[in-house]
Structure 1
Amino acid sequence: MSNQRSTSRDEDLLLQDFSRNVTTKSRALFSGNAAVVSAIPLWLFWRIHQMDFSSYFIHFILGTIVSTYFLNLAYQNMKFILKHKIAQKREEAVNREISKIFASDKSANKKDKDDRVLTRKNEVADFEATTFSIFYNNAFYLVCLLVLSFFVLKNFSPTVNYLFSVALSTAMVFLFSTGQK
């Protein structure tokens, strides 16, 4: 019974590493970053496009909430795609790192070493995928927003410019994050 319970726990941990679920820490990091990046257009349209904040309060709040939600989903999608690629690329380096640790310990068996390598590889891949996902999606969102706002939709009214530039930027980031490659 104890061996079966241990195997089940090991399988659960392995499945958790390959699932789309994100940790609470990553979820909080994603939500915070998405909220900050979604609020950047508020300043842009308030100061540069001269939209009065009190007159367009509802537009700004709705645009920020929707943008935050979809950016958060884009972060999660991109992290899922990147995590496995990064884990494969970092496997050799992590293997060397763990081998150095276990080189002096003669009593350690191969299963312990393999478990340690898998755990460390997933930690490294999770961290790198999280940071790159945030960086990539933020950069892509802001570039799309600036191009749409200042070049594509510059002749439209500020309200239409805001709504379409935020919506299209968010949609593009979200759609590109759902890709498989």
Structure 2
Amino acid sequence: MARGQKKNTGFSEKELELLRNFSPNTSSKGMAVFWIHALYVVIVPIWIQARVHQYPVGEQMIYLVLGTLLQAFALQFAYKNVKNVQKEKIALQRTEAVSAEVTAQVGTKVARQELEDRILWRKGEVAENESIHFSILYNNCIYLGLYLLFSVIFFKNWAPLTNYTFSIIVAAGAVAGISRTK
């Protein structure tokens, strides 16, 4: 096939849009939301280490930057996994409400097939947004809870760098691992 030519899939543009709505891929907007949330959530351990454990932030900046990036990657991975599982469940739960909403908006002005397509599109949009936000909340709660548990209780007597390193590895690793089991 020559460069620039589209592959003929046999689907119309509307059908392709519906397929994209229900694919497990996360939109670029969703990925940006995931990365932003992951980056600001993983900064919380730095603040805790600096204030509670008296971690010398200026002297250990390379460890903090590496730890932050690794944690953000693990959280983003977990966000995506949980979102994919929850999207289907949310879509099933919101079917009646979305159908009523779309029917109230367009009424009997459109053909039945067009109405069903609009309902499917809106259901995918609602499920995408709700699953993104649920995934962020769910994973952040688990991550911060585990981090506090290990940092403040289990590793509290360890040296600050060791405490930070093991706490973030356990918390981020557990969240990424838990996300794969759903």
Asked if these proteins are the same fold (TM beyond 0.5), I'd say yes
Aligned to 1:7, the other structure's residue is in SS state: coil
Alignment of 1:69-84 (within 5 A): 69-84=73-88
| Partner deviation per Cα, 1:6-58 (whole Å, 9 max, x = no partner) | 83434432332232321111111111110000111111101110011122112
Give unpaired runs (5+ residues) of structure 2: 1-7
- Residue 52 of structure 1 is matched in structure 2 by 56
Equivalent residues of 2:22, 2:124 under 8 A apart: no
Matched, 1:146 2:159: no
Equivalent residues of 2:21, 2:121 under 8 A apart: no
Matched, 1:100 2:122: no
| Partner deviation per Cα, 1:65-118 (whole Å, 9 max, x = no partner) | 10011111111111111000000000011111122233342xx21110000000
The separation in 2 between residues aligned to 1:159 and 1:169, in whole angstroms, is 15
The separation in 1 between residues aligned to 2:124 and 2:19, in whole angstroms, is 12
Give unpaired runs (5+ residues) of structure 1: none
The runs of at least 4 aligned residues of structure 1 exceeding 4 Å deviation read none
1:5 and 1:68, CA in 2 relative to 1: closer, same or farther beyond 3 A?
closer
Give 2:93's match in structure 1, choosing from 89, 96, 101: 89
- Residue 170 of structure 1 is matched in structure 2 by 172
TM-score (norm 1): 0.90
Aligned to 2:16, the other structure's residue is in SS state: helix
**What code does the residue aligned with 2:31 have?**
R
TM-score (norm 2): 0.90
The separation in 1 between residues aligned to 2:137 and 2:157, in whole angstroms, is 30
Aligned to 1:74, the other structure's residue is in SS state: helix
Identity %: 36
The separation in 2 between residues aligned to 1:20 and 1:56, in whole angstroms, is 39
Matched, 1:61 2:65: yes
Matched, 1:14 2:18: yes
Give 1:117's match in structure 2, choosing from 112, 116, 119: 119
Alignment of 1:27-46 (within 5 A): 27-46=31-50
- Paired residues, number: 175
